[in-house]
């Protein structure tokens, strides 16, 4: 069981002016009526996110210091004033009542523990224990229940500007922990770690948009996924940040041109990070749309993408992430082709330009890739188990340093390979620095296109593996490579080159590991730079002259 103690209300807040109804035949003569307030974190100011009472809402009330009243239902007309058909009356001054209250009311509750099952009811859960010492001597005071959220909440605003009719069949589900018990006496939340389930969230449609509200449980980064079905297509993403008990996690979901853009927005702990989702297979190997194709995106030389792979493209949608005045709406960050069977990146393809770089801004914000299901990624919040290996970036941190937000995307676990530690900090690092140097030659050359990839041993040589903190194995490539291509501005000529280096402590300098892109294609099974003009691509890929790259 996972235990999460959330904030408890201790100090009673007293006001005057609440007029109680009277019951002449009761010894006290006055029944307890409650006003209420739902406390929200200070940052939650966006309209529609805050929780408000509705007509007919019911809470359950207990006297916590005496067993005289257990799970008494109180209802409201939506004003937040609660009364009951079977009310609690003010006791004598010598036997005052302390109250706890919870929402939503469960008529079958008999003990002191509230069972929470989000697969059955995904509404928010509220708890109050601030009212103390109620008796007939203070019956004129206001008894104001201060409710605190027990669970984190999720809020989605979904829009489809191109065709609002696409929202007609919208469904949203959460995959994550689903069961817990809440102790009503001490406020301790006990989460069932084995209760992973996929459960629906209610969808409210309002004209050209839809709003989705619900609850989920506190969890570690990567433990919760959001699944969205829109216009007959399935999309999903991983919440790769820690989910805290009393926060609201807000997302703007926009469908445009067949893709879905998700922006983690509104709250201070969200940085405006956006993901462009494409309708993707629910499991590797099932039918999925063709991947996005750019100049740097490799394609299989023959056949289709293997069943044990995910290929996704991360986009940049915030101009503050890059150093470019030419930013307009969206630009690609990088594409990853990830092998789910052996848990390693086959290749990472990306454009490189000074717009992506600045000194500093390294975050070391290790996290799951939000576009690849968690179960296929290694857990790399810590290091690989074993000596002499490191968490090697395929897209280097230094190549996405224009902002801290951009840099964080290089710490996705799908961008990390099992790499020899000495190679990573010496010969490979030298090559990364040189590639960045070449990308800055913008007077003479256009954008530099880069593919960084892995080559496993070929049979009969066995693959070696490293393990993450949970024992999940990831293949250690025998070789790492980089393939580069750029266009000369004045002449329009293309230049290419590749480097293939042994993933070991004895790896020699990159200048001694130059090969032609054509050769790398034969060894990898991928065609590089597929958008090169057909008339020149054969000759360009035969190049292996380091003298052209000075």
Write out the H or E segment, with its range, that includes residue 428: helix 427-439
Mapped to the 3 state alphabet, what secondary structure does 129-181 carry? CCCCCECHHHCCEEEEEEEEECCCEEEEEEECCCCHHHHHHCEEEEEEECEEE
Cβ atoms of 363 and 380 within 8 Å: the answer is no
Instruction: Give the separation between CA 222 and CA 310, rounded to whole angstroms.
Output: 17
Q: CA dist 288 to 17, 278, 474, Å? A: 63, 9, 25
What are the structure tokens assigned to 121, written together? 């009811």
Instruction: Give the span between the Cα atoms of 526 and 103, in whole angstroms.
Output: 57
- Report which DSSP code applies to 79: S
pLDDT tens digits, the chain, 550 residues: what are they? 555 544 433 333 332 333 333 333 455 478 999 999 999 865 444 455 778 899 999 999 999 998 889 999 999 999 999 999 999 999 999 999 999 999 999 999 988 899 999 999 999 999 999 999 999 999 888 999 999 999 999 999 999 887 878 888 899 999 999 999 999 988 899 999 999 999 999 999 887 899 999 999 999 888 899 999 888 888 888 888 788 887 888 888 888 776 788 887 644 445 566 777 766 544 444 444 566 789 999 999 988 778 888 888 898 877 888 988 777 777 889 999 999 999 999 999 999 999 999 988 999 999 999 888 888 999 999 999 888 999 999 999 999 999 998 999 999 999 999 999 999 999 999 999 999 999 999 999 999 999 999 999 999 999 999 999 889 999 999 999 999 999 999 999 999 999 999 999 988 999 999 999 999 999 999 999 999 999 999 999 999 999 999 8
Q: What is the pLDDT of residue 95?
A: 92
pLDDT score for 8 = 39
Identical fold, 151-279 and 300-483+515-549: no
Which H or E element spans position 455? strand 448-455
Per-residue confidence (pLDDT) for residue 315, from 0 to 100:
86
Fold entry, domain 151-279: Immunoglobulin-like (2.60.40)
Contact 312, 280 (CB under 8 A): yes
How far apart CA 119 and CA 200 sit, in angstroms, is 7
Cα-based distances in Å from 241 to 176, 213, 224, 334: 14, 19, 9, 20
CATH of the domain spanning 300-483+515-549, picked from 1.20.120.1200, 3.40.190.10, 3.30.420.40, 3.40.570.10? 3.40.570.10
**Neighbouring C-beta atoms of residue 244, cutoff 10 Å:** 15
Please give the distance of CA 91 from its chain centroid, rounded to a whole number: 50
**pLDDT at residue 316, rounded to an integer:** 86
Contact of 61 with 107, CB cutoff 8 Å: no
CA gap 273, 192 in Å, rounded: 30
474 contacts 391 by C-beta, under 8 angstroms: no
What is the rounded CA–CA span in Å between residue 400 and residue 203? 37
Structure token digits, residue 56: 């007919």
35-39+53-149: CATH topology is Immunoglobulin-like (2.60.40)
Q: Where do the domains of the chain lie?
A: 35-39+53-149, 151-279, 300-483+515-549
| C-beta of residue 478 within 8 angstroms of C-beta of residue 502 | yes
């Amino acid at each position: 069981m996972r235990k999460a103690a959330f904030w408890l209300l201790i100090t009673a807040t007293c006001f005057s002016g609440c007029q109680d109804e009277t019951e002449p035949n009761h010894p006290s003569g006055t029944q307890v009526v409650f006003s209420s307030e739902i406390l929200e974190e200070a940052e939650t100011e966006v309209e529609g996110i805050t929780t408000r009472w509705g007509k007919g809402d019911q809470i359950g009330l207990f006297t916590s210091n005496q067993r005289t009243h257990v799970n008494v239902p109180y209802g409201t007309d939506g004003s937040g004033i609660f009364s009951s058909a079977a009310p609690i009356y003010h006791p004598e001054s010598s036997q005052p009542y302390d109250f706890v209250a919870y929402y939503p009311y469960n008529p079958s509750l008999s003990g002191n523990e509230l069972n929470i099952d989000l697969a059955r009811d995904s509404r928010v859960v509220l708890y109050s224990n601030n009212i103390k010492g109620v008796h007939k001597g203070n019956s004129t005071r206001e008894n104001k229940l201060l409710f605190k959220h027990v669970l984190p909440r999720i809020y989605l605003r979904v829009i489809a500007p191109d065709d609002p009719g696409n929202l007609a069949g919208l469904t949203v589900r959460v995959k994550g922990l689903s069961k817990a018990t809440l102790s009503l006496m001490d406020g301790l939340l006990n989460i069932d770690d084995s209760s992973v389930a996929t459960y629906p969230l209610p969808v409210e449609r309002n004209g050209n948009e839809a709003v989705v509200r619900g609850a989920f449980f506190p969890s570690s980064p990567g433990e919760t996924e959001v699944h969205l079905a829109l216009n007959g297509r399935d999309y999903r993403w991983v919440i790769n940040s820690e989910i805290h008990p009393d926060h609201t996690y807000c997302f703007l979901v926009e469908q445009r041109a067949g893709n879905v853009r998700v922006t983690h927005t509104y709250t201070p702990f969200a940085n405006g990070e956006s993901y462009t989702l494409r309708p993707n297979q629910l499991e590797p190997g099932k039918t999925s749309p063709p991947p996005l194709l750019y100049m740097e995106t490799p394609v299989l030389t023959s056949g289709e993408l293997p069943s044990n792979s995910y290929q996704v493209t991360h986009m940049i949608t915030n101009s503050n992430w890059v150093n470019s005045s030419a930013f307009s709406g969206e630009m690609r960050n990088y594409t990853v082709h990830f092998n789910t069977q052996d848990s390693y990146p086959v290749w990472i393809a990306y454009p490189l330009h000074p717009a992506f770089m600045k000194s500093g801004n390294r975050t070391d914000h290790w996290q799951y890739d939000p576009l690849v299901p968690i179960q296929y990624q290694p857990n790399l919040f810590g290091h690989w188990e074993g000596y002499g290996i490191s968490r090697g970036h395929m897209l280097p941190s230094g190549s996405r340093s224009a902002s801290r937000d951009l840099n964080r995307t290089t710490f996705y676990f799908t961008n990390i390979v099992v790499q020899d530690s000495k190679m990573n900090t010496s010969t490979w690092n030298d090559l990364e620095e040189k590639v960045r140097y070449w990308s800055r030659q913008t007077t003479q050359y256009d954008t530099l296109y880069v593919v960084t990839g892995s080559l496993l041993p070929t049979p009969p040589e066995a693959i070696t593996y490293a393990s993450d903190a949970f024992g999940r194995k990831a293949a250690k490539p025998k070789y790492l490579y980089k393939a580069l291509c750029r266009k000369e501005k004045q002449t329009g000529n293309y230049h290419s080159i590749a480097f293939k280096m042994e993933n070991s402590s004895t790896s020699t300098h990159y200048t001694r590991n130059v090969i032609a892109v054509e050769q790398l294609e034969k060894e990898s099974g991928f065609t590089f730079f597929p958008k090169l003009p057909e008339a020149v691509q054969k000759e360009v890929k035969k190049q292996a002259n380091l003298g052209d790259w000075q």
